[in-house]
Structure 1
Amino acid sequence: MNTPNNPSRFNVVARALRGAGRKAAGVALAGCMVASLAACTSASAGAASSAASGFASTAAASTAVDSTGYDLSYSDRDLDASYDASTATSIELSGTTASVSGSGAVAQGSTVTITEAGVYVVSGSLSDGQIVVSAADSDKVQIVLSGASITSSSGPALYVESADKVFVTLAAGTQNTLADSSSAVTDSEGDALDAALYSTADLTLQGTGSLSVTGSCNDGIKSKDDLVITGGTYTVSAVGDALVGKDCVKVKDGSFALTAGEDGIASSNEDDADRGFVSIDGGSFSIDAADDGVQAAHYIRVAGGSLNVKSGDDALHSDLDLEVTGGSVGIEAGDDGVHAEYGLSVSGGTVDVKSSVEGLEGQSISVSGGEVSIVSSDDGMNAATADATASSQSASASSAASPSGTASAAASQAAGASATTAAMPAQSQQPATGAPQGGGMPGGGGGGMETDENCSISISGGSVTVFSHGDGLDSNGTLSVTGGTVLVSGPSLSDNSAVDSGISATIDGGTVIAVGSVGMDGGFSSGTQAFATSSVSGSAGQEIVLYGSDGSEVARFTPASDYQTITVSAPGYAEGDSVSVSVGSQTLALSASTSATSSAGAGRMGGGMQMMQGRTGAFQSAASV
C-alpha cells in the first residue's frame, strides 16, 4: 500500500492509543514517536499514559473528523481495465485439467501457476482446481476472468501467494465464479488460506463483468494488503466476512450483493495508524451481515454510492472515526445504526436508519449537512464516553499514532426559513414499546447520567429527524444546535427526554420541533436564539406546524408517539417573542426565551389541566388561540 508522506497524521496520539487500555508497549512507542521531535530515546509507560490521556481529551472535545492521513486515492491502473487479448497468455480450463498458451504460466493437472508479470486471460471451468500467482515481489499481474468458473476442494480457488499487485479484470459481458470448500488449508507460515479469492498482495478488482464468490471456509474475497474495487458486479456469500482488505477496502464503483456470517466489509489492520479503513466513493451495495455491515479498525468513509445494510450488530462500525460526506445509506440494525468510538460526522448524503437500538452513537457526533433520519428502540443520537476497553482490545497490538485527529467543528451554518416537512415512519418502522433493547439504561440530565465533557452532539446544518423510544438526542456532555432542522419524536415514558444533556444544551440557530415525555429534566438550557417549551398532551399522528416570528410557516412534523411536552425554536426567535405552534386542529401561543427557567407549567390541549415541574425555556401553559 502506498503511504502518503504526512507527518501530521501522528499529531493525535490518543486516537490510536484509545485511552489507558492500550498495551504498555504500544503506549511507550507512541510516546517516543511524539517526543522524537525533541530527540527522545525512551519513554516510561506512566508518562506515555499521561500524555495519552491529555491527547484523548483534546481529540474528543471537537467534532470534526480528520482523514488526511489515509490514502483514499486510486491509481491510473486501478481505473484502467483494458487489456490486449491478442498478446495475452491464454489459460483454458476444462474439468480437472488446464492448458496454457503463451509465457509466464504453467499448468500441472488442475493447478495453473502464474510466475511472471503479464496479462493472463482465463476461460472455461475447473471442477476441482486452482489458479496460483507465485510471482516476484516486484511483478504486477493482470488476470482477466472471461467466463471462468473455478471450484477448489483444497484452499482458495484463486490464490495470490506472491506479487507486487494483482489486478483481477472481469471481462465485459461474462459471468465468472469462484468457490472454495469448508476444508481449512494453511500456508508455509501457518496462516489460514481461508477465502475463495485470497491474496497476500495488493488486490484490485475491475471491469464490467460479473463475479460470484462462495466462501465456504471463511471469507469470500480477502487481501492481506489493500483491496480496491473500481467496477464489476459481485455476488458474495461467505460464512465469515464477505469482503476483507486488511490494510484497507476502497470502492470506486460496482454492484454488490453481500451475504456474510460475520461482517459484510471489513478492514482489520490495527497496527498501522494510516491503515485499517474502509472508503466508499461509489457503487451500489446490498449487505446482509450477521455481525457488522461495515467494520473498520480505524476509519470508515462514505462519500458516494448507495448502501442498504441489514446487520445483526452495528450497520457501520469504526473503532475510531467515521464520516458520511455523500451517497445514501439505508440501515436496519440489530444494535447501533452508525457507531464510531470517537468521532462521527455527517456532512452530506443521506443516512436513513430504519430500525436500530441506538441510531447514531459516538463520543462526538457532528451533523453539518445531509439528511439523517432515525428510528430507534433506545436513544436516537447518543454521545457517550468512548469504550477504551473495547477499543484497546480491538487494537491491542497497535504501536503507532492514528492519523485521525479531530479538527475544530465546522463554522455554524445559518438555517433558512423555508418550510420543512417530516412525516412519521410507517408502523413497521416505529420505535418498539417496552424496555429498550441493549445500550444500557436510557437516561439524561437529572436522571443519573454520567457526565463527560468530551462528549458532544453538534448540529450546524442539514436535517435530523428522530423517532425514538429512548432519548431523542442524548449527550453525556454538551449538545448544541446552531443550524439545520431538528425534528424529534421522543419517548412517551417519563424516564427519557426528547433533548437530553449531561452538561448543557444550547441553541444558537436552526429550526427545532422536539416532543417527548414529562418527568425528565431535559430540554435546552440557553442560547442566543430564543426557544419555547410547553406542557401539552399530543397524540401520535397529529401534525405539528411551526410558525416563525413573522407568522410564516417554518416546518411541519408528525410525531410517531404520544407526548406531554413540546420544545420549539426557529431562526428569528428573540427574547419575549410570542410564537405559534399548531397541533392538530388547535394552535398554541408560546412565549420564547433565551434561557431556561423553572416554573410550574400547566396545560392540556382542548381543556383539562395537568401539573408538571421542569427545566424549560419559559415553561408555560399551552394557551389556545
Structure 2
Amino acid sequence: MRDKIERKGIDNMIIKKYKHKTIATFLIIFLCIFTFSACEKNITDDTTEETLTATPLSVEFEADDLESSWDDLESSNITLNGDSISFDGQGATISGNTLTINSSGLYTVTGTLDNGQIIVNTQDEENVRIILNGANITNLNSSPIYVMKSSKTIITLADGTENTITDGNSYENIDVESNEPNSTLFSKNDLTINGTGLLTINGNYKHGINSKDGLKIVSGNLIVNAINDGIRGRDYIAIKDGDISINAKSDGMQSNNDEDLSKGYIYIEKGIFNIIAQADGIQAETQLQIKNGDINIVSGNGSENATTSTETGSAKGLKAAVDITIDGGNIKIDSLDDAIHSNDTLTVNNGTLKLSSGDDGIHSDTSIVINGGDIAIDKSYEGIESALITVNDGNINITATDDGINAAGGNDGSSTNGRPGQNEFNETQGIGLTINGGYIIVNAQGDGLDANGSITMNDGIVIVNGPTNSGDGSLDYDGSFEMNGGLLLAVGSARMAQAPSTTSAQNSFNINVGSQKSNTLIHIESESGENILTFAPLKNYESIVFSSPNLQNNFTYNVYIGGSSTGSNKDGLYAEGTYSPGTLLTNLTITQSVTEYGSVANQGPGGGGTKNNKDFPTDGKRPTGNPPTDRQKPEDREMPANDDISSSEYSVPLQSQ
C-alpha cells in the first residue's frame, strides 16, 4: 500500500477488506485507547456485506501530554555547537555529531547543529520529554530527530522561541524492510507536541512528521513543508489546539492504520489550520471528527484546476473511509476533487462550511445527515450526493454545474465526465432524500433535487433555481415525492419538470408560464389579494412548482407574471411590501393535491398530468435511454452568476387563509 490511501479501488478498501468474517472475529477490535469505540459491525451472516457504523470519538489528553506537568522536573541540557554537541546531565551519550537519549527524563535542546541527529532509544517505561529552546537541527542523511524506542516522547516548544528541523533529499542507513526512518521528525512510538513556541519542519526526503503509533498535538505553532505527506500518525492524529500550516506535495494530514478499525482516525478539537496539499487535505483511514477550529484547505491546486487537470488521484479536502462528523468550526475548502468525502457515513451537526469543488461539494457513499450549520457550496459538479440524504436543519446554499442534491445508488455514472474521481456507492436498503427542516437554496444546471428513489419533504424551505436546459428538471425522482409540509419553490425548464406526488398531504401548483427572463416576478395571491408568493427567479424559466401550507383546498388563487414589489428581497423571495401587478396568467382553484396549468411535463408517480411531449412515459418516470441532443455536457456549461444567493436565517412568512 502506498504512503497515502491509494485512490481508485481503495476508497472502499475497509468495507471490502472485512467482508465474510464471523461476528466473533470482530469482538476484540473495538477496544481503543483514549476511551472511545471507533466502529461497530452489523453482520447478518457470514456471507453478506457488513455495515460499518461509526460512534463518536472521545479522545482523552492525559496529564503528561500537558506542558504544566513538567514543572517539577530537573532538565539535562543539550547544546548544539554547529558541527558538535555538548551535554550537561545524565541519560544521554554522544558519538560524533549524534546524541542518543537512552533514559527517560527531561532534556532541553538549544543551539544549531549543521549536520547531525538526536536519537531517542530508551528501554524503560517512563516518558522522554524534550524542550526545543531555540534549536536548529539539520541532518542531510537521515531524520534530525529520530525516536527509535520510547514509551512516549513529548516535545515542547519553549515560549517565545523559533525552532527548525531540516533533512536532506536522501537518507542513509534506512531499514530496507520498513523503509524507516522516512520523515524529518520520525517516531516509532507515541509522540506528543505541545508548548507555545514555533517549530518549522522542512521535509526534503519524504514526510514532515511521522509517528508509527499515535500523534497528539496539544498546542504550539507548526509550519510543515514536505515533498510527500505533511503530518502522519499511523494509529491516530489527535489535535487539542495549535496553529498549524502545512504545504505538502501529497496529503496534508493522514492517519493510515488499515488493520484495526479502532485506529486510523483523526480528531480535531480546535485550532487554526492552513493546509495546501497536492493530494488530500486531511485524510483518515477510519473516522474524521472535527469539533471546532478554523480550517482552510486547498487540495490539488483547487477547484479551478478541475477543468484542465488529467490527474486521476484523490485530491479531496476532508476524506475518511468510515465516517466524517463535523460538530462545529469554520471550514473553508477549495479542492480539485470532492471537498468533503466519506466512503460510508457523514454527519454535519454544526459549523460554517464554505466549499468550492471541482467534483462534489459533499459526498458520502452510504448516507449524509445534516442537522445544522451554515453550508455554502459555491462551486461543485454535484452539490450534495449520497445514497441516503437527510436534512433536519441548517442553512444550505448550493451552486452546481450538474445536480444540486443527488440521492443516487450504485456507481455514479456521472463521474466519468472527465471529473477527478470515480465515486461508488455502498449497497443500501433504500435510496432517497428526506427534508425535515432547514433553509435550502439550490442553483443547478442539472437537476435541482434528484433522487434515484423517493423524496419526502416534511418541513423547511427549499428554493431551486434551474435548470435552463430541457434535459433536466428542477425536481427529478424515480419513486414518489411526498410533500407533507414546508415551502417548496422549484423554478426551471418545463420539458422534464416534475411536481410532488398526488398522494402528498400538502397542496402544490405545477405551472407552465412560458418562456420568462430571469428576475421576472411570479406572484401568487388569494382572491382577496393576500400575498402567497412573490418571487424573482435567478435564471430564465418556463415552469414553477410551488407548495406551501397556505394553499388551501377549494380556494382560488390568482397567478401573475411580471410586475414589481416594494418588499425586501432575499434569495429572490419578497417579504412584506406591496406588489404592483404585471400580467394575470390564470386563476387556479385547488380541488386536488396537485393543481396544474399549461402544458406541464410530468407530475411523477401518482400524477396524471398532461405531458408536453408525446414520447414521455405515462408512469411519471423519466424516459430511459440517451438524453436529448440539446443537453450540454457539464464541462460545456457556463456557471451562472450567483451574486444574489447567500445562506441566511431568512424565512418567508406563511399567511393563513
TM-score by length of 2: 0.70
Task: Report the alpha carbon displacement of residue 355 of structure 1 after superposing the two structures with TM.
Answer: 3.5
Matched residue type, 1:75: E
Matched, 1:166 2:168: no
Deviation at 1:480, TM superposition (A): 3.6
Provide the C-alpha distance between the structure 1 equivalents of 2:150 and 2:59, rounded to a whole number of angstroms: 22
- The higher-RCO structure (CA 8 Å, 6+ apart) is 1
Of residues 313, 317, 329 in structure 2, which corresponds to 1:315? 317
Do structure 1's residue 227 and structure 2's residue 203 form an aligned pair?
no
Question: What is residue 266 of structure 2 aligned with on the other side?
Answer: 278
Aligned to 2:431: 455
Question: Structure 2 residue aligned with 1:33, among 25, 34, 46?
Answer: 25
Q: How far apart are residue 103 of structure 1 and its match? A: 1.3
Contact persistence 2:509–2:595 (CA under 8 A): no
Aligned twin of 1:364: 367
**Hey, what does 2:141 align to over in structure 1?**
154
Q: What is the match of residue 90 of structure 2?
A: 103
* Greater Rg over alpha carbons, structure: 2
- Asked if the contact 1:91/1:101 (under 8 Å) is kept, the reply is yes
User: Does the alignment pair 1:467 with 2:470?
Assistant: no
Going from structure 1 to structure 2, the CA distance change for 1:260 and 1:379 (only over 3 Å counts) comes to: same
Aligned to 1:476: 452
Matched, 1:347 2:349: yes
Alpha-carbon shift at residue 354 of structure 1 (Å)? 2.8
Please list the CA deviations of residues 474-518 of structure 1 after superposition, one character each: whole Å capped at 9, or x if unmatched. 343344444444444343233334443443444444444444443
2:121 maps to 1:134: yes
Normalized per residue, the structure richer in helix is 1
- Contact 2:19–2:49, Cα closer than 8 Å, also in 1: no
Counterpart of 1:241 in structure 2 is 229
**Secondary structure at the residue paired with 2:129?**
strand
Deviations, residues 562-582 of structure 1 (Å, cap 9, x unaligned): 444444445666666759899
Query: Match for 1:128: what amino acid?
Result: N
Structure 1 window deviating more from structure 2 (572-581 vs 195-204): it is: 572-581
Decide whether the 8 Å contact of 1:367 with 1:460 is kept in 2.
no
Instruction: Give 1:182-581 correspondences, 5 Å limit.
Output: 182-185=169-172, 186-187=174-175, 189-312=177-300, 313-362=315-364, 363-384=366-387, 431=401, 439-440=415-416, 453-520=429-496, 522=498, 524-525=500-501, 527-536=504-513, 537=515, 539=517, 561-570=539-548
Post-superposition Cα deviations, 1:540-586, rounded to whole Å, max 9, x if no partner, equal: 56788999999999999886644444444456666667598998837
CA spacing shift, 1:450–1:301, aligned 2, 3 Å: closer
Residues 368, 459 of structure 1: 8 Å contact kept: no
Partner of 2:614: none
Query: What 5-or-longer segments of structure 1 have no aligned partner?
Result: 1-14, 37-47, 60-64, 386-407, 443-448, 603-610
Residue 88 of structure 1 corresponds to which residue in structure 2? 75
> Contact 1:98–1:110 (CA<8 Å) still a contact in 2?
yes
- Superposed CA offset, 1:506-541 (max 9, x none): 444444444444333555446444444434555556
What amino acid sits opposite 1:74 in the alignment?
A: F
Q: Distance in 1 between the 2:166 and 2:103 partners?
A: 25
Partner Cα separation in structure 2 for residue 140 and residue 594 of structure 1: 77
> Structure 1 pair 567/521, CA: closer, same or farther in 2 (3 Å)?
closer
Equivalent residue letter for 2:352: T
Q: Deviations over 1:452-479 (max 9, x none)?
A: 6443444434444443433344343344
CA 1:522 to 1:257, structure 2 compared with 1: closer, same or farther past 3 Å? Answer: farther
Conserved in 2, the CA contact under 8 Å of 1:535 and 1:620? no
Deviates more, 1:564-573 or 1:328-337: 564-573
State the AA in 2 paired with 1:132. I
Where 1:275 maps in the other structure, the secondary structure is coil
- CA contact under 8 A between 1:533 and 1:619: conserved in structure 2? no
Contact (CA 8 Å) 2:462, 2:488: kept in 1 or not? yes
Q: In structure 2, do the counterparts of structure 1 residues 597 and 545 end up closer, same or farther at CA, with 3 Å as the change threshold?
A: closer
Secondary structure of the equivalent of 1:439? helix
Task: Give deviations 1:347-371, integer Å, cap 9, x for gaps.
Answer: 1112221343211111211111112
Counterpart contact for 1:228–1:249, Cα < 8 Å: yes
Q: Give the structure-1-normalised TM-score.
A: 0.73
Name the SS of the counterpart of 2:241 in structure 1: coil
Matching residue's letter, 1:369:
G
Return the alpha-carbon distance in structure 2 between the equivalents of residues 30 and 551 of structure 1. Answer: 67
Deviation at 1:263, TM superposition (A): 1.1
What CA distance in whole angstroms lies between the structure 2 residues aligned with 1:571 and 1:353? 33
How far does residue 163 in structure 1 lie from its aligned partner after superposition? 1.0
For residues 418-466 of structure 1, the C-alpha deviation after alignment (integer angstroms, 9 at most, x for no partner) is: xx9x9998xxxx8599xx9962469xxxxxx999644344443444444
Unaligned runs of 5+ in 2: 1-10, 29-42, 301-314, 404-411, 419-424, 565-580, 612-657
Tell me, what secondary structure is at the counterpart of 2:354? strand
In 2: Cα distance, 1:381 partner to 1:424 partner: 8
Percent identity between matched residues is 29
Q: Distance in 2 between matches of 1:112 and 1:556?
A: 76
* 379 and 130 in structure 1: CA distance in 2 versus 1, 3 angstrom threshold: same
- Secondary structure in structure 2 of the residue aligned to 1:273: coil
**For the structure 1 residues 620 and 327, does the alpha-carbon distance in structure 2 shift closer, same or farther, using more than 3 Å as the test?**
farther
Counterpart-to-counterpart distance in 2, 1:488 and 1:440: 26
The 1:31/1:598 distance shift into structure 2, 3 A limit, reads farther
Larger CA deviation: 206-215 vs 576-585: 576-585
String of CA shifts for 1:203-235, please: whole Å, max 9, x gaps. 111111111111111111111111111211111
User: 1:73, 1:343 → 2: CA distance?
Assistant: 24
DSSP-derived class of the 1:344 partner: strand
Say yes or no: does 1:53 pair with 2:48: yes
> What is the distance in 1 between the residues matched to 2:21 and 2:351?
38
1:310 is matched by which residue type in structure 2? V
> Amino acid of the residue matched to residue 371 of structure 1?
D
Count of equivalent residues: 534
After superposition, the C-alpha distances for 1:276-326 in whole angstroms (9 at most, x for unaligned) are 111212111111111111111111112100111111221111122112111
- AA partner of residue 53 (structure 1): T
Could you tell me how far 1:137 is from its partner in structure 2? 6.0
* Cα pair distance change 1:542/1:35, threshold 3 Å: same
| Structure 2 SS opposite 1:33 | helix
Counterpart Cα distance in 2 of 1:618 and 1:488:
23
Distance 1:74 1:451, change over 3 A: closer
Q: Are the aligned partners of 1:85 and 1:121 in contact in 2 as well (CA < 8 Å)?
A: no
Q: Which amino acid aligns with 1:220?
A: G
- 1:353/1:373 contact within 8 Å kept: yes
Please give the secondary structure, in 1, of the residue aligned with 2:373. strand
